[in-house]
Amino acid sequence: MILALSFHDDLHAIAVQHAVRARGDEFHILECDAVSGKTGLTWHLSGTPDGSGVPAAVPTSEGRTVPPAQAELLWWRRARADQQLTMSAAGSDGAGLGAQQVSLVNNDCRGALGGILAASFHGEWISPPEATDRASDKVYQLWVARQAGFRVPRTLITQSRDEVVDFTREVGRVIVKPVVGARGPSLYTRWIEDPQALPAESFAVCPATYQEYVPGRHHIRLNCFGERMFAALIETEELDWRPDLNVPITRWPVPPDLARLVRTVLDRLGLPMGVIDLKLTPGGEPVWLEVNPQGQFLFLEPLTGEPLTEHFADYLITTAATVNGERRR
């Protein structure tokens, strides 16, 4: 049995579920934002010192309950969404919940589901929650990538306009992007041509990431599923390729030396999989930009013809079968 933790109507989880079930394997989606207002989530702690015999059940997107202990693999795709609060949660009189009540519902639903999975699931995590959270730190992953041997852009994180001015003089053209980002519309990478012309207060509000501009028009989106890698070449003069996909996007064979280097970085981050953004210099050198531990990949299927859903289903099924084989020994 394979489990996926994500939010309600997540296209990636649903597409992979169809692909896995089409091959006769059991696959269930656990919706992290649809715990409130339902029943089915339960956990009892027995008195056995080794924790054996602890009954646990979690609700699926289809209204069933499943025991996490029976699953071989858990795809930890999305785990942080707030609850979709129902009228029953708001009360029979229709009165809305207060901010503290909403916070309680969100925190306790998230904590209970995550805690039950941590205590009751004993298979393979794709990827482990702790590694996912750590690797999502863009500062840390840049450091790990450089330590592994990747070229990374010279980077400054600061709230000081003076430091940005000095950095611009040192490296030339500079781009700016969020350190973490925020919910809502995407915040795209931008140029910062003349930081001296901007008010110092705008820099002091919060830190931002400033990096040297890496010239070139060849962007690589690399999907690493275990030992297999599938990449797309995105050709555009734009600084950030995400707003406009009406550009040449084709399959790109991953060179063996690059594959080894990517795998080294992910291993050091504790990630079995990852979606990596690179940029090729005019001389063809790959420059590490970032890894998203659970990045989007379905959008590349119609653009490149690469069956990424099937590749990912293969990866999950093969990994789960390995875990199942080890259990039977």
Q: Residue 142: which of 320, 38, 291 has the closest Cα?
A: 291
Whole-model pTM over 0.85: yes
Q: Which pLDDT score, from 0 to 100, does residue 87 have?
A: 43
pLDDT of residue 185: 77
* Lowest-confidence segment of 34-43, 94-103, 176-185 by average pLDDT: 94-103
Confidence (pLDDT) at 93: 43
Phi-psi region of 212 (alpha: psi -120 to 50; beta: other; left: phi over 0): beta
Are the CB atoms for 159 and 207 separated by under 8 Å?
yes
Q: Over range 73-91, report the average pLDDT.
A: 80
The per-residue pLDDT for 136 is: 95
Strands, E assignment, 186-302: 190-191, 208-212, 218-225, 228-235, 249-252, 273-280, 286-292
Cα end-to-end distance, the chain, whole Å: 18
53 confidence band (pLDDT: 50, 70, 90): low
Rounded to an integer, what distance in angstroms lies between the CA atom of residue 269 and that of residue 289?
A: 15
pLDDT tier at 39, thresholds 50, 70, 90: confident
Q: Give 90's pLDDT tier (boundaries 50, 70, 90).
A: low
On whether the CB atoms of residues 154 and 172 are closer than 8 A, the answer is no
**pLDDT for position 117:** 97
Span 221-268, pLDDT tens digits: 999 999 999 999 999 999 999 999 999 999 999 999 999 999 999 999
Percent with pLDDT over 70 in the chain: 94
Q: What is the C-alpha separation between 161 and 164, in angstroms, rounded?
A: 5
Q: How many CB atoms lie within 10 A of CB 108?
A: 13
List domains and CATH numbers for the chain.
2-127 (no CATH), 128-151+214-293 (3.30.470.20), 154-212 (3.30.1490)
pLDDT band at 88 (very low <50, low <70, confident <90, very high): very low
Q: Which pLDDT tens digit goes with each residue over 130-158?
A: 999 999 999 999 999 999 999 999 999 99
DSSP string for 98-117: PHHHHHHHHHHHHHHHHHHH
Q: Give the pLDDT score at 288.
A: 98
- The Cβ of residue 29 has, within 10 Å, a number of other Cβ atoms equal to 24
What letter represents residue 75's amino acid? W
Q: Is the pLDDT of residue 94 over 50?
A: no
Mean pLDDT throughout 114-125? 96
Mean pLDDT, the chain, whole residue set = 93
**92 confidence band (pLDDT: 50, 70, 90):** very low
What is residue 45's predicted lDDT score, i.e. its pLDDT?
85
Report whether pLDDT(28) > 80.
yes
Give the CA diameter of the chain.
Answer: 68
Position 89 confidence tier, pLDDT thresholds 50, 70, 90? low
pLDDT of residue 325: 87
Residue 95 is predicted with a pLDDT of 53
pLDDT in the model for residue 188: 87
| Closest C-alpha to 173, from 197, 195, 141, 151 | 195
Helices (H), the chain: 11-21, 87-90, 99-120, 129-135, 138-148, 161-171, 200-204, 256-269, 300-304, 308-328
Q: Is the pLDDT of residue 179 over 80?
A: yes
Residue 187 has pLDDT above 90, yes or no: no
DSSP strand pairing (27-31 vs 2-6) = parallel
**Cα 139–chain centre separation:** 15
